[in-house]
Amino acid sequence: TALEADFRAALEKNQFVLHYQPQIVGSTHLIGVEALVRWAHPVRQLIAPTEFIPLAEETGLIKTLGLWVLVSACQQIKRWSTDPQFCKLTIAVNVSAQQLRARNFVEQVKHALLATQADPTRLKLELTESLLVDNVQDTIEKMHSLKAMGVSFSLDDFGTGYSSLSYLKRLPLDQLKIDKSFVCDVLSDPNDAAIARTIIALADSLALNVIAEGVETEMQRDFLAHAGCHAYQGYYFSRPLPLAEFEEYARLQV
Ligand code: G
Ligand code: G
Ligand code: NA
Ligand code: MN
């Protein structure tokens, strides 16, 4: 298709950019960002990932794009490392199933870290549950290799997939991320409220930290805080921002 040809060309021409969405603890304490990719198409407006990630998955080009995202995030970690305002931030990167399953995934991450000289403890990889359903043993081994370097792991969209609790126990995770579909109606839907509370309690029992995504209002934040979740990401704090705007946002936090 035309879009596919465009997309291949875009990978060669480096037409992608990362936006950064703040992750906050408490009321204002900035602890990190999630990196979210956008396609800076020369003719169209900035294209959202929902428009090209499915295509990238179908064509396998997600592996090339994913590597670009990883290296770019590591470059940013390195750039921030000399600035006292930014050097403690983590960057969370989304990892697709195809990327993780690649035989050389661990090598790719190591290479990205070494080539950019980024501090591995600033890199967080976001996995989704669907990704953990098959090849669990392989996933666990890869996670252990990367954790040995200092990389951390978050389980994205938690509660929406099919992973069983027995896998959860075996995976060397650091964080559960409460999916935004539960946060959205947490104040009005008792089921969503119960699910959010249960995920927070589960994280607590497994000694994992927990972050809620899709937090849009102060009342949602307060509900979550009351339930024991103290890390948040969402429009209430900020939408995903281009680098310069994110840096300006961060400077205003102190
Ligand atoms: O960024 P947005 O805010 O529109 O993201 C939409 C979807 O695209 C989300 O599900 C997000 O996880 C996914 N996405 C954004 N950036 C990346 C990326 O770098 N890699 C992968 N695999 N998915 C991404
Ligand atoms: O799928 P994943 O969890 O990786 O992607 C996060 C997605 O959620 C991105 O598309 C991001 O733009 C979006 N997002 C971030 N904050 C909010 C929010 O407060 N509300 C909603 N509806 N979406 C959000
Ligand atoms: Na994510
Ligand atoms: Mn998510």
- Closest ligand 2 atom number to CA of residue 216: 19
Q: Which residues contact 225 (CB under 8 A, 6 or more apart)?
A: none
Quote the tokens at residue 237: 């704090």
Residue 135's pLDDT band, with cuts at 50, 70 and 90, is confident
In whole angstroms, give the CA distance from residue 224 to residue 193: 9
Q: Which ligand has its closest atom nearest to the C-alpha of 53?
A: 1
What residue owns the CA closest to ligand 2's atom 20? 214
Q: How confident is the model at residue 254 (pLDDT cuts 50, 70, 90)?
A: low
Q: Is 99 in the pocket of ligand 1 (CB under 6 A)?
A: no
96 lines ligand 1 (CB under 6 A): yes
pLDDT at 237 over 70: yes
- Strand 29-39 and strand 16-25: the pairing is antiparallel
Does the pLDDT value for residue 7 go beyond 90? yes
- CA of 77: how far to CAs of 2, 35, 45, 113, 116, in Å? 35, 11, 27, 9, 9
Burial class (CB in 10 A: 0-12, 13-18, 19+), 145: middle
Query: Which ligand minimizes its atom distance to the CA of 129?
Result: 4
ipTM above 0.95? yes
Q: Is 90 exceeded by the pLDDT of residue 13?
A: yes
What's the average model confidence in pLDDT over 74-87? 98
Domain boundaries, the chain: 2-252
pLDDT of residue 165: 82
3-state secondary structure of 24: strand
Residues 81-126 pLDDT 10s: 999 999 999 999 999 999 999 999 999 999 999 999 999 999 999 9
CATH code of 2-252, in short, is 3.20.20.450
CB neighbours of residue 202 within 10 Å: 16
Atom 14 (ligand 2) nearest CA: 214
What confidence score (pLDDT) does residue 121 get? 98
**C-alpha to C-alpha distance for 77 and 116, rounded to whole angstroms:** 9
| Separation between Cα atoms, residue 139 and residue 133, nearest integer Å | 10
pLDDT band per the 50, 70, 90 thresholds, residue 34? very high
| Mean pLDDT score across all residues of the chain | 95
For residue 133, what pLDDT is reported? 76
pLDDT at 140: 94
Q: Which pTM was predicted?
A: 0.97
Could you tell me which residues come within 8 angstroms of residue 150 by beta carbon, excluding any fewer than 6 positions away? Answer: 119, 120, 121, 123
Give the pLDDT confidence of 179-206 residue by residue, as tens digits.
999 999 999 999 999 999 999 999 999 9
Report the candidate in 210, 184, 168 with the shortest Cα–Cα distance to residue 23.
210
Question: Which pair of structure tokens corresponds to residue 220?
Answer: 């949602």
Ligand 2 neighbour 94 (Cβ under 6 A): yes
Instruction: Pick the atom of ligand 1 nearest to 99's CA.
Output: 22
pLDDT digits (tens, 9 = 90+) for 141-182: 999 999 999 999 999 999 888 767 888 888 999 999 999 999
Q: What is the pLDDT of residue 33?
A: 98
